[in-house]
């Protein structure tokens, strides 16, 4: 069975039932990925156009969002894995995704050599790569006097870096992927039903006002949070369900140092039998220590959200003053970082699940806020201004 056939089957169909089998499968995928990359580098290309075409084809084969091998692995191996296999599959898939960065278009273009054709004149060799360059070479007799100087420095393309918001989002995703969670996404233009009604948000709620939400029409909005994906995931996968939901959100906010009409959010959702608030507290305490450091302490306080009951706010000991009190934490020693709670029974019903059998918890956090704390940034607008002087620091 070829690799392309295997990635289109689930682990159950491949008779993989333990962590050792998962390791063998992913080792085969890693080997195939590296072999295809090395074959392309070894063969090279006859021209820059051919090189770009070959690099794009290899990148799309592995990384394309639709029918790319990694997308198929995510859908058929990770999301469809049995509960006991999800942690092992999540770890291996995360490692594979990191290795796959070498298949990016720019990385391949730098690695794949171009075999330029040589033109000969009077015993001298001149390397040219296009008809225009060949015509110019014959007009420049001085250039044809000898071979090119291979000791001259080459041309370097300046390299970019990962945007700080994307960097923080991936770091958060990695923590939860290692816990066995899967990544789920959904549309940014959402219906009023999924954005509000299915989440137990009544028509009288202030969030449904025109001054808070960006409406496309009476029944369509730009999603105000990534919570609608919770309902879509419950309808699609049922239970048990362990997912995180990263993505863009939109609200009717005036831009200032702490607000933006567009921002990024990550939500987490865990649904199973016998899920309790203790599971939520343990998971979020583990996450906080992984992201902010082992010395961080967490604190939970009661709150209210229409889609969770009971609801809470999570605070961490101030990472700037180590909980001693400073200007940033307003001398309290604590910084609020996310909201959370047990999934409301009505939300479970709207997702097609029986609240008498299943329970779950959810949380939501703003990625920009975490990036601001991590990199000590005091203005959220810096993330969106495309100022190279700011971005090149990361």
Q: Is the pLDDT of residue 126 over 70?
A: no
Q: Is the pLDDT of residue 3 over 70?
A: yes
Evaluate whether 208 touches 218 at the Cβ level (below 8 Å).
Answer: no
The 10 Å Cβ neighbour count of residue 176 is 22
Q: Is the pLDDT of residue 1 over 70?
A: yes
Evaluate whether 107 touches 29 at the Cβ level (below 8 Å).
Answer: no
User: Comparing 114-123, 207-216, 284-293, 328-337, which segment has the lowest mean pLDDT?
Assistant: 114-123
Cα atoms found within 13 Å of the Cα of residue 314, Cβ hemisphere only: 23
* pLDDT tens track for 182-208: 999 999 999 999 999 999 999 999 989
Task: Output the average pLDDT for the chain.
Answer: 86
Mean per-residue pLDDT for 95-118? 76
Angstrom distances, CA of residue 323 to CA of 135, 190, 288: 71, 40, 15
pLDDT of residue 116: 57
pLDDT of residue 55: 86
Mean per-residue pLDDT for 162-181? 95
User: Comparing 143-157, 159-173, 306-320, 364-378, which segment has the lowest mean pLDDT?
Assistant: 143-157
* pLDDT tens track for 340-366: 999 999 999 999 999 999 999 999 999
Task: Name which of 314, 245, 325 is nearest 286 in CA terms.
Answer: 314
Mean per-residue pLDDT for 263-276? 95
Q: Which conformational region is residue 229 in: left (phi greater than 0), alpha (psi within -120 to 50 degrees), or beta?
A: alpha
Evaluate whether 287 touches 255 at the Cβ level (below 8 Å).
Answer: no
pLDDT of residue 146: 60
The 10 Å Cβ neighbour count of residue 215 is 13
What does residue 388 show for φ and ψ, rounded to 5 degrees? Answer: -60, -35
User: Comparing 105-114, 294-303, 354-363, 370-379, which segment has the lowest mean pLDDT?
Assistant: 105-114
Mean per-residue pLDDT for 13-20? 86
Task: Name which of 291, 37, 328 is nearest 167 in CA terms.
Answer: 291
Interatomic CA distance for residues 303 and 341, integer angstroms = 9
Say what the pTM is: 0.60
Mean per-residue pLDDT for 198-219? 91
Mean per-residue pLDDT for 8-28? 87
Interatomic CA distance for residues 199 and 205, integer angstroms = 12
Mean per-residue pLDDT for 278-284? 95
Task: Name which of 295, 393, 376, 310 is nearest 345 in CA terms.
Answer: 310
Q: Is the pLDDT of residue 385 over 60?
A: yes
User: Comparing 48-52, 212-216, 242-246, which segment has the lowest mean pLDDT?
Assistant: 48-52
Confidence of residue 84 (pLDDT cuts 50, 70, 90): confident
Question: Of residues 155 and 217, which shows the higher confidence score?
Answer: 217
Evaluate whether 360 touches 269 at the Cβ level (below 8 Å).
Answer: yes
DSSP code string of 206-260: GGGSTTTS-EEETTEEE-SSSTHHHHHHHHHH-SSEEEEEEEEEE-----SSS--
Here the contacts of 17-24 (C-beta below 8 Å, separation 24 or greater) are 17/82, 17/85, 18/85, 19/85, 19/88, 22/85, 22/88, 22/89, 22/92, 23/88, 23/92
Per the listing, tokens 């949380």 go with 363
Which ranges in the chain belong to alpha helices (H)?
3-6, 19-43, 48-63, 69-73, 86-99, 105-111, 131-139, 164-177, 192-195, 228-237, 277-292, 345-350, 367-375, 388-391
Question: Of residues 148 and 128, which shows the higher confidence score?
Answer: 148
Domains of the chain from N-terminus onward: 3-111 (no CATH), 118-150 (no CATH), 164-391 (3.30.930.10)
pLDDT of residue 393: 86
What burial letters (b/e) apply to 298-333, b meaning 16+ CB within 10 Å? bebeeeebbbbeebbbbbbbbbeeebeeeeebeeeb
Per the listing, tokens 């495309």 go with 386
Per the listing, tokens 């082992």 go with 294
Q: Is the pLDDT of residue 125 over 80?
A: no
* pLDDT tens track for 225-242: 999 999 999 999 999 999
């Amino acid at each position: 069975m070829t690799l392309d056939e295997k990635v289109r089957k689930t682990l159950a169909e491949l008779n993989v039932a333990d962590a050792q089998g998962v390791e063998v499968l992913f080792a085969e995928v890693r080997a195939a990925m590296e072999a295809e990359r090395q074959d392309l580098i070894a063969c090279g290309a006859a021209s820059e156009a051919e090189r770009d075409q070959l690099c794009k084809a290899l990148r799309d084969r592995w990384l394309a969002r639709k029918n790319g091998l990694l997308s198929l692995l995510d859908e058929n191996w990770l999301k469809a894995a049995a509960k006991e296999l999800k942690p092992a599959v999540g770890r291996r898939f995360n490692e594979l995704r990191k290795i796959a960065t070498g298949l990016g278009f720019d990385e391949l273009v730098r690695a794949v050599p171009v075999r330029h054709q040589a033109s000969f004149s009077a015993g001298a060799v001149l390397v040219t790569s296009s008809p225009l360059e060949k015509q110019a070479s014959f007009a420049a007799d001085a250039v044809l006097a000898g071979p090119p100087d291979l000791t001259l420095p080459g041309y370097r393309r300046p390299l970019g870096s990962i945007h700080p918001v994307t960097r923080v989002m991936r770091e958060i995703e990695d923590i939860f992927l290692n816990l066995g969670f899967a990544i789920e996404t959904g549309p940014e233009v959402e219906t009023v039903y999924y954005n509000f009604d299915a989440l137990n948000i009544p028509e009288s709620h202030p969030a449904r006002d025109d001054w808070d939400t960006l409406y496309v029409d009476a029944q369509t909005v730009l999603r105000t949070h990534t919570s609608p994906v919770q309902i879509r995931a419950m309808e699609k996968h049922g239970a048990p369900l362990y997912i995180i939901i990263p993505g863009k959100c939109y609200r009717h906010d005036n831009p200032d140092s702490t607000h933006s009409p567009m921002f990024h959010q990550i939500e987490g959702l865990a649904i199973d039998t016998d899920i309790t608030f203790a599971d939520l507290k343990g998971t979020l305490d583990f996450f906080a220590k992984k992201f902010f450091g082992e010395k961080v302490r967490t604190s939970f306080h009661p709150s209210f959200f229409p889609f969770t009951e009971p609801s809470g706010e999570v605070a961490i000991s101030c990472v700037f003053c180590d909980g001693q009190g400073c200007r940033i934490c307003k001398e309290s020693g604590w910084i609020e970082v996310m909201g959370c709670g047990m999934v409301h029974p009505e939300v479970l019903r709207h997702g097609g699940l029986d609240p008498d059998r299943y329970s779950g918890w959810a949380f939501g956090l703003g990625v920009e806020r975490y990036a601001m704390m991590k990199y000590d940034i005091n203005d959220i607008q810096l993330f969106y201004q495309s100022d190279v002087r700011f971005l090149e620091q990361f």
